[in-house]
Structure formats: C-alpha cells, structure tokens
Amino acid sequence: MQFIQSNIWLILIAVTSGLMLLWSFVGNRLRGVKEADCVAALQMINHKDAVVLDVRENEEFKAGHLLNAKQIPLGKLRERIGELERYREKPVVVVCRSGQRSATACALLGREGFAQVYNLAGGIMAWQKANLPLEK
C-alpha cells in the first residue's frame, strides 16, 4: 500500500497510457470504421471502381496523393459532403497521412449513410512504404 501511495502519479500515467494504447486498437472498430490495407484498397480501386477521398490539407495533397484522388480537407468535410453524394453507393477509400484523420472522416461518412467506407490503414505513409505510386 505504501508503494501505491508513494508512486500514485506513475501508476496513473502507466494506466492512462495503457488505456490509450488499447483505444488505438479497438477505437475504430467501436466507431464502426472499416480498415483496408494497401492491397485491399488497390483492389477496390482497380476492380470495384472505388473513389479515393484524401482528407489532408492542400500542401500535403500537393506533395503527393493517390491517383485520381478527390481532396476535401477533414475540417471542411461536413460542409462539402454534398460533393460526395454521387458516390454514396460506391466504395470510398479515405486517406490521410497516417490513418487517424481518415478514420474520423470514415466515421462521419458512415453517420451520413455511406455504407462502403474504408480507412486506408497506415495512410499515405503505408502506401509509400509499399512502394505504390503517388501523383504530384
């Protein structure tokens, strides 16, 4: 008991970091976000005519993006969601730098009735690591 009282802050930090790590593994599943790795995303793009939605900012997008990607920054997605209406029945692969912003966008699109929304796991960083092409 003395150990716990003496080290309460360290114990709280350890518990908090453990909960954050756990959330990173199950949080997207709880929010209903489906993930696709690079191979699955490429197959959806090539064989199911999936739309690629890039939710990064303009500068990031200009530095390199997936071919034919449609860019709507995450901060403007809610107000510009009407631009995606014609893709409501198609698979949508959502991309950002690492997969965090795109997961938020996937959750938003899911709430708006888009049923086939997939987060690119690992984002552009995973795409580049797999040596897949980017357009500038």
**92 pLDDT above the threshold of 60:** yes
CATH class of the domain whose range is 33-129 = alpha beta
Question: What ranges do the domains of the chain cover?
Answer: 1-30, 33-129
Q: What is the pLDDT of residue 29?
A: 64
Q: What is the pLDDT of residue 27?
A: 56
Higher pLDDT, 109 or 17: 109
CB-based burial of residue 127 (10 Å sphere; 0-12 exposed, 13-18 middle, 19+ buried)? buried
Contact 122, 129 (CB under 8 A): yes
pTM of model > 0.85 = no
93 membership: H or E segment, kind and range = strand 92-95
Catalytic residues: 96
The edge-to-edge listing of strands for the beta sheet with 92-95 is 34-36, 117-120, 92-95, 51-54, 70-71
pLDDT 10s digits, 1-45: 788 788 889 888 988 888 777 666 655 665 667 999 999 999 999
Q: Which residues of 86-113 are buried (b: 16+ CB within 10 A; e: fewer)?
A: ebeeebbbbbbbebebbbbbbbbbbeee
